[in-house]
Structure 1
Amino acid sequence: MTPLTPSNPSAEWINQIDWLRDEARSLGFGDIRISDTDMSQAGPKLREWLEAGRHGDMNYMSQHEHLRVQPALLHEGTIRVLTVRMDYLPDTSEMRSAIDWRQAELQKEQQAGDGTIAIYARGRDYHKVLRLRLQDLANRIQEKIGSFGYRVFVDSGPVMEVELAQKSGLGWRGKHTLLLNREAGSMFFLGEIFVDVPFPVDPPVTGHCGECSACIDICPTQAITAPYQLDARRCISYLTIEHKGSIPVELRPLLGNRVYGCDDCQLACPWNKFAQMSQLPDFLPRHGLDRISLLELWSWSEDDFLKRHEGSPIRRIGYQAWQRNLAVGMGNALRSAKTSASDKASIQSALKTKLETVSPLVKEHIDWALSENI
């Protein structure tokens, strides 16, 4: 084999890349695929979405639009994008014993007194997990081919990651706009390495949603306005995570007990019967977040919130948004026929106790929760 030097990457290693997939899988990635950087077809769709205002108050989406459609502007010399998949379904006894884990998760949403948190957020912050392993992968690539230019991304820059993943053949875009994979459903994270190396490009795959509309039908807020069309302003994940202001009154009852994110469109998707358990302990639930009461979460002080969510994606929304979300969930529990009279009394008391100490934003949501039950 030709000796490798930093100034002379080996064409032999570049063109024979089974080793790349082996290295990626050894680091805990489910798969890796390669795309070019031509985003000409994605650009008009993004512009249409932004012009319709469907990004809500995620202003960063419009501010960096030009970077999203020109990857080389994010890292000079980029000609390929390596996209990885990392499965995050936690390998717990509950998941393994369930006849259908998707139905078990949907049933949690019927427990009005419990807080439902999106599966991906119950463990360690995926940004950190993926970034470290992508850097390790980049180091291993360098050992093989010599010095090369690259930049790692994990939901951390203006990158159209689903579009790039679809181009690379890692999966197809489902009607809920998430990436779907025949072997892994959609319960995975995506990460990218922008490189200046002419790796061979993988072909895209065809879509396999057919006439299915399960994700559209189940969406509590009808945020999926048409196949492949999402209005973030109605999406529960957006409302509980990205949105910093008041949650629209008409949407509050539809949130149910979902206090951070929403998995409904994924839980309804037939392809997620193939979702893969994570190989990593990082995504195991922490602090009982896979089954915990709203009252217990409400009892956390700001110090508790910061300490228990250290290293968690939930910490990013801040204590005020956390309390806002919980207040809505508790208001919905008060209106639920499934909540016992004693639990309703406890919830009302807990909400009233904090009325004088919370921010005006949180107070508004507490007032709403209590007013629904006078």
Structure 2
Amino acid sequence: MKQGEDTPAALKERLVTEANAEGFARVGICAPDAVPQIAERLERFVEHGRHGQMGWMAERMHWRGDPAALWTDARSVIMLAEPYTPEHDPLEVLQQRDRAAISVYAQNRDYHDIVKKRLKRVGRWLIEQVPGAEIKVFVDTAPVMEKPLAEAAGLGWQGKHTNLLSRQLGNWFFLGAIFTTVNLPKDAPGRENCGSCRACLDVCPTNAFPAPFELDARRCISYLTIEHHGPVDEELRALMGNRIYGCDDCLAVCPWNKFAEAASEIRYRAREDLRAPDLAELAALDDAAFRATFSGSPIKRIGRDRFVRNVLYAIGNSGAARLRAAAQGLTDDPDPTVADAARWAVERLEGAT
């Protein structure tokens, strides 16, 4: 460590200052073994099949259930939060049934790239202060249970919708993790403050919460539009409304958002063409146009076929006769799931005015 800054507490204080300068609004630290309860919770989640088609959750359950096993040399986990609070009400577009609703986090650049670069800069700074120190950074792309670790690090608590909540940030923020061999002072864990509120549970269109603090991904619109491949059950299609990528309902109604901080990163601000895009225009995208439209966006990773499948479900739910032609033109699409979705939409729009 640098001369005069050799206490762990002083190093932590400077680390927080450095992270704040990089754009992180909150920083907390916990031990890698601070969340022993998650192994049992994860096992129960998978045993009930609530992970759906996300087979990687079961395959890498050991690491997810025990962060200390992911890297045995780690002595501290630095959890960082970066706000992406929307400037508009994300629920307004749900009333525009001929328009697409895209989750706030996906309305501009891919947060994985932005947050990871910030984490690496903070990590490099730490290495410069502590010769021989090592780090590993993670942003939702490895078997790391970010939300329980963030709660253990004092950033907030997992609400009844299972997302992380904060008194200072509401629930509009990304999480990043830095595992390090440096033994830093740990923070007190967050405490649950949901009380009797059920806003997030009651607003869910598909009843994806079997109980408070529990999620069945198989009924979650975020899962269905992003992770689920193949046709979606017809019962659920009709409940998806015009949500074509993700769902913000449970996040948007949380009362703690009255304390949310504004996003400082301009690349998180919604692109005008993605606030409420026309469903017919999206349905017309071929693979090349899809890739061009969503270059640098997290939406790109689901591919054109799954994306257009979602758009067609939204068209079927729109009640807008003008969209019938867009669906009709895809009834013979080379992708069988897209063709199925198109035929379903056409049938749903029979008699629409």
**Into which bin does the TM-score normalised by the smaller protein fall?**
over 0.9
Deviates more, 1:58-67 or 1:279-288: 279-288
Residues 255-270 of structure 1 correspond to what in structure 2 (within 5 A)? 255-270=240-255
1:31 equivalent in alignment to 2:26: yes
1:352 equivalent in alignment to 2:352: no
Q: Does the aligned pair in 2 maintain the 1:241–1:261 contact within 8 Å?
A: yes
Residue equivalent to 1:115: 100
Distance 1:294 1:369 in 2: 12
What TM-score comes out, normalization by structure 2 length? 0.95
Q: Does the aligned pair in 2 maintain the 1:71–1:78 contact within 8 Å?
A: no
Residues 95-106 of structure 1 correspond to what in structure 2 (within 5 A)? 95=87, 101=88, 104-106=89-91
Distance 1:177 1:117 in 2: 20
Residue equivalent to 1:289: 274
Q: Compute the displacement of 1:304 (Å).
A: 1.3
Distance 2:267 2:349 in 1: 40
Residue equivalent to 1:69: 65
Distance 2:2 2:148 in 1: 36
Distance 1:171 1:249 in 2: 37
1:363 equivalent in alignment to 2:347: no
Distance 1:117 1:72 in 2: 36
TM-superposition CA deviations, 1:232-261 (whole Å, max 9, x none) = 000000000011121111001110000000
2:317 aligned counterpart, secondary structure: helix
1:224 aligned counterpart, secondary structure: coil
Q: Does the aligned pair in 1 maintain the 2:108–2:268 contact within 8 Å?
A: yes
Q: Does the aligned pair in 1 maintain the 2:100–2:242 contact within 8 Å?
A: yes
Residues 194-209 of structure 1 correspond to what in structure 2 (within 5 A)? 194-209=179-194
1:42 equivalent in alignment to 2:38: yes
Distance 1:67 1:155 in 2: 14
Deviates more, 1:265-274 or 1:353-362: 353-362
Residues 305-316 of structure 1 correspond to what in structure 2 (within 5 A)? 305-316=290-301
1:56 equivalent in alignment to 2:32: no
Distance 1:311 1:76 in 2: 34
Distance 2:52 2:14 in 1: 42
Residue equivalent to 1:7: none
1:194 aligned counterpart, secondary structure: strand
Residue equivalent to 1:98: none
What RMSD over aligned residues (CA atoms) do the two structures have, in Å?
A: 1.6
Q: Residue type of the partner of 1:89? A: T
Distance 2:2 2:60 in 1: 42
Aligned pair partner of 1:145 in 104, 121, 130: 130
Q: Does the aligned pair in 1 maintain the 2:330–2:338 contact within 8 Å?
A: no
What TM-score comes out, normalization by structure 1 length? 0.90
Q: Does the aligned pair in 1 maintain the 2:8–2:184 contact within 8 Å?
A: no
Distance 1:15 1:80 in 2: 16
TM-superposition CA deviations, 1:285-342 (whole Å, max 9, x none) = 23610121111211222111101211110001011100100000000002xxxx4xxx
Distance 2:113 2:84 in 1: 14
Residue equivalent to 2:288: 303
Aligned pair partner of 2:110 in 114, 125, 146: 125
Distance 1:182 1:198 in 2: 27
1:82 equivalent in alignment to 2:78: yes
Distance 1:105 1:71 in 2: 34
Q: Does the aligned pair in 2 maintain the 1:14–1:145 contact within 8 Å?
A: no
Deviates more, 1:61-70 or 1:210-219: 61-70
Q: Residue type of the partner of 1:73? A: A
1:18 equivalent in alignment to 2:13: yes
Instruction: Among all aligned residue pairs of Structure 1 and Structure 2, give the percentage whose two residues are the same amino acid.
Output: 40
Residue equivalent to 1:372: 348
Distance 2:230 2:335 in 1: 12
Distance 1:169 1:13 in 2: 18
Q: How many residues in Structure 1 have an aligned counterpart in Structure 2?
A: 349
Aligned pair partner of 1:231 in 202, 205, 216: 216
TM-superposition CA deviations, 1:42-97 (whole Å, max 9, x none) = 1111111111110001000010010112323322401211000011124xxxx2xx
Q: Compute the displacement of 1:2 (Å).
A: 5.5
Distance 2:115 2:2 in 1: 32
Q: Residue type of the partner of 1:311? A: G
2:100 aligned counterpart, secondary structure: strand
1:77 aligned counterpart, secondary structure: coil
Question: 5+ residue gaps in structure 1?
Answer: 5-9, 96-100
Distance 2:303 2:2 in 1: 53
Distance 1:70 1:80 in 2: 14
Q: Does the aligned pair in 1 maintain the 2:8–2:185 contact within 8 Å?
A: no
Q: Residue type of the partner of 1:201? A: K
Q: Residue type of the partner of 1:182? A: R
Residue equivalent to 2:175: 190
Q: Does the aligned pair in 2 maintain the 1:320–1:362 contact within 8 Å?
A: yes
Distance 1:289 1:147 in 2: 45
Q: Compute the displacement of 1:128 (Å).
A: 0.3
Question: 5+ residue gaps in structure 2?
Answer: none
Q: Does the aligned pair in 1 maintain the 2:2–2:129 contact within 8 Å?
A: no
Q: Are residues 300 and 287 of structure 1, via their aligned partners in 2, closer, same or farther at CA, if it must alter by over 3 Å?
A: farther
Residue equivalent to 1:246: 231
Q: Compute the displacement of 1:190 (Å).
A: 0.5
